[in-house]
Structure 1
Amino acid sequence: MTRPNPIVPTVDFDAEGVQHGFLRLPYSRDDSAWGSVMIPVTVVKNGEGPTALLTGANHGDEYEGPIALMNLARSLSPDQVTGRVIIVPAMNYPAFLAGTRTSPIDRGNMNRSFPGRPDGTVTEKIADFFQRVLLPMADVVLDFHSGGRTLDFLPFCAAHVLPDKRQDAEAFRLVRAFGAPWSVRMLEIDAVGMYDSAAEEMGKVFVTTELGGAGTASATSAGIARRGVRNLLVAAGILRGEVEAGETRWLDMPDGDCFTFAEDGGLIEFLFDLGDRIERGQAVARIWPTGRTGADPVELAARRSGLLAARHVPGLVKPGDCVAVIAVEVDG
């Protein structure tokens, strides 16, 4: 028999109106023997209709999603909604409070922990609750991401190319409606255990973002997130109103040649900025050795032509770090 998940919601997901509460996860620790992790949640429901599940801080050092979803949770009223909106501004709440990508409790990466375990670590228990309780309720899932403390992205909304073409088409329709400056056909380099895959395998329409990064949110990136989530809810038939039109340009990440990795550690010097065009074979960046002067840098060559869509942020890199992502501009 499958063990029940220990998380106790303080909201009723089927009740009409607005509820602000918590997903309470018992967590016994040195400073609180009968303590809990209290994950904020808002539910807005009005009659019958589709359900949107909106999440931020899947990685705790990514801030556009929490900003947009805190704002939405405060301002959304039932008379604006047909159906239900479930808002979890900080999915990996311990990581969010610590400002880290992974949980300070168990080092768990939420986006590599699905389907989770009800008797596992804190991160696995949260993943299991989403897998077995929240995702089955949802029709549409929007999971906000940005580059965190180690990457910076062109601000884009994205979905994955899927075998189910109905699911695929609806996801990209909502990507277009989101209205980020860039829209991407997404390729993952490490998809095992992802929230994305868990939702898509259930047949849910899944949309995600990368809206900047560098360990902060700008006025521009937060504004894109706030406008985009409302656009998506309108396009999904859940929120009354009109989509606020905005121009978007489309990018594709067709294969592994989009990614450039460091094989050496050192001081990184980028030779292009985000949005610049790079030709195959050109040096994207140089890595200078830090142990001595007078030594030549190592140059990192682009393996395909395209636009610089993401770059490593800290000035020092380690072997194995992804230092650049090059995407190809395509027709929408």
Structure 2
Amino acid sequence: MGSMTLGQRPSPITPTVDFDRDGVQHGFLKLPHSHDQSAWGSIMIPVTVVKRGTGPTALLTGGNHGDEYEGPVALLKLANQLKAEDVTGRVIIVPAMNFPAFAAGRRTSPIDAGNLNRSFPGKPDGTATQKIADYFQRTLLPLADVVLDFHSGGKTLDFVPFAAAHVLEDKDQQAACVAAMEAFSAPYSMMMLEIDSVGMYDSAAEEMGKVFVTTELGGGGTATARTIEIAERGIRNVLRHASILTGRPKITDGIRMDMPGPECFTTAEDDGVLEMCVDLGQTVAAGNVIARIHALDRTGVAPKEYRAAMDGILAARHFPGIVRTGDTLAVVAVRL
């Protein structure tokens, strides 16, 4: 399945499910991985396929980063709940794309330190993470019409809960992504600016012309009852929007935001103890102090103040109490 350039190696990953078969199937994406504890071992990435007849395909993914939990929890629940008679078309559920990272509770893989969301298009003969990226690039993404990829802040960031789309050159495609983002109906919706978009799953899907929606639903290396509920409702809303599930999306009022440029980001230029002066969701004005960094190792030193570069809403913040030079302290987004 999927396209393969002349001379390019086939993926080493084999699915234990049949993507073309009607019904509900639970299985694995099996990636051979030889290591000290298992000479002929495999990385077993859980996958569920729910299919009935012909219709659109939704690819639902979580665990792109292994310390983000709303997506995996909501998708594991969906895999247990969704029945073939519920759908028209096909739903492919991968709760933990980078399974080694997910099992270890890490953003990146303990096998090769790979950040899956910076590894696309991947390599069939590369590292474990590159092989996973290649399988999504050449096999799973080509099957999909709609792609919903769950993220949150992991252990180091915290966000107001939002669904997001990106500014795209193809304005018809952008409009379709925005419509799906709005159908998700998170408390906040964001036209998102990525601080580093090279090698992203998002870009791989968008470059194929797919309708792509992502999220940032919280953070701190955990999930809450509220953020999981947002994820569960959002999945079903997107599936209804795509006509894979019957009925209309259940839309609630939300706040639209935009990240117009790099001035949204406030970056630490000091090491120390973080004092946030504004909470998530609060409004700020340009020049307001949004954070202070106090000396870590001595008293009697004035803290360094960090000010907002623009008016807006505090949409994200550094989560741990200790901050290092180069960390993103805060993200301010414009309310639309």
TM-score band by shorter chain is over 0.9
**What does the per-residue CA deviation read over 1:262-316, in whole Å, with 9 as the maximum and x for residues that have no partner?**
0000000010000111111111100001111010000011111100000000000
Quick check: 1:74 aligned with 2:83? no
In 1, Cα distance between equivalents of 2:65 and 2:257: 24
Deviation of the 1:161 alpha carbon:
1.2
Quick check: 1:231 aligned with 2:219? no
Equivalence for 1:5: 11
The correspondence of residues 132-171 of structure 1 with structure 2, limited to 5 A, is: 132-171=138-177
The normalised TM-score by structure 2 is 0.97
In 2, Cα distance between equivalents of 1:105 and 1:311: 29
In 2, Cα distance between equivalents of 1:245 and 1:256: 31
Deviation of the 1:74 alpha carbon:
0.5
Deviation of the 1:185 alpha carbon:
0.5
Equivalence for 1:130: 136
Equivalence for 2:121: 115
Equivalence for 2:65: 59
2:314 maps to which of 294, 308, 320:
308
The correspondence of residues 138-217 of structure 1 with structure 2, limited to 5 A, is: 138-217=144-223
Quick check: 1:34 aligned with 2:40? yes
In 2, Cα distance between equivalents of 1:217 and 1:131: 28
SS in 1 for 2:90: strand
Deviation of the 1:231 alpha carbon:
0.4
Equivalence for 2:249: 243
Equivalence for 2:4: none
The runs of 5 or more residues in structure 1 that have no matched partner are none
SS in 2 for 1:220: helix
Quick check: 1:320 aligned with 2:332? no
In 1, Cα distance between equivalents of 2:234 and 2:204: 23
Deviation of the 1:165 alpha carbon:
1.3
8 Å CA contact retained: 1:41, 1:88: yes
Computed over aligned residues only, the root mean square deviation of the Cα atoms, in angstroms, reads 0.6
Which amino acid counterpart does residue 317 of structure 2 have in structure 1?
R
User: What is the aligned residue count?
Assistant: 330
In 1, Cα distance between equivalents of 2:50 and 2:283: 44
Equivalence for 1:265: 271
1:252 maps to which of 251, 255, 258:
258
**What does the per-residue CA deviation read over 1:78-126, in whole Å, with 9 as the maximum and x for residues that have no partner?**
1110110000000000000010100010000000000000000000000
In 1, Cα distance between equivalents of 2:96 and 2:214: 15
In 2, Cα distance between equivalents of 1:142 and 1:278: 31
SS in 1 for 2:34: coil
In 2, Cα distance between equivalents of 1:217 and 1:241: 28
SS in 2 for 1:225: helix
1:89 maps to which of 79, 95, 112:
95
In 2, Cα distance between equivalents of 1:74 and 1:23: 18
1:102 maps to which of 89, 105, 108:
108
In 1, Cα distance between equivalents of 2:183 and 2:141: 22
Deviation of the 1:241 alpha carbon:
2.6
Deviation of the 1:245 alpha carbon:
2.1
Deviation of the 1:193 alpha carbon:
0.2
8 Å CA contact retained: 1:176, 1:248: no
Which amino acid counterpart does residue 256 of structure 1 have in structure 2?
P
**What does the per-residue CA deviation read over 1:229-271, in whole Å, with 9 as the maximum and x for residues that have no partner?**
0000000111123312211110000000000000000000010
Which amino acid counterpart does residue 216 of structure 2 have in structure 1?
E
SS in 1 for 2:29: strand
Equivalence for 1:284: 290
